Amino acid sequence: MWNAAVHAELLHDHSDYGYEVENIRFSWETLKAKRDAYVSHLNRIYRNNLDKAKIQTIQGHARFTSDPEPTVEVNGRKYTAPHILIATGGQPSVLSDAEVPGASLGITSDGFFELESLPKRSVIVGAGYIAVEIAGILSTLGSKTSLIIRQTGVLRTFDNFISTNCTKELQNSGVDIWKNSQVKSVCKTDKGLEVTLTTKDPEKKSDEEKINRLQEVDCLLWAIGRQPNTSGLNVGEMGVDTDERGHIVVDEFQNTTRQGIYAVGDVCGKALLTPVAIAAGRKLAHRLFEGKKDSKLDYSSIPTVVFSHPPIGTVGLTEEEAVKTRGKENVKIYKTSFTPMYHALTSRKSQCIMKLVCVGKEEKVVGLHMQGLGCDEMLQGFAVAIKIGATKADFDKTIAIHPTSSEEFVTMR
Pairing between strand 90-92 and 121-125? unpaired
Q: How far is it, in rounded angstroms, from Cα 372 to Cα 378?
A: 10
Provide the annotated active-site residues: 402
**Entry field: residues in the chain:** 413
Contact 130, 107 (CB under 8 A): no
Contact 168, 175 (CB under 8 A): no
Side chain identity, residue 88: T
- How far is Cα of residue 404 from the mean position of the Cα atoms in its chain? 26
Give residues with Cβ within 8 angstroms of 370, minimum separation 6. 162, 312, 313, 314, 352, 353, 354, 355, 378, 379
Rounded to 5 degrees, what angle do the CA atoms 384, 387, 388 make? 90
Is residue 365 classed as helix, strand or coil in its secondary structure? strand
Contact 72, 84 (CB under 8 A): yes
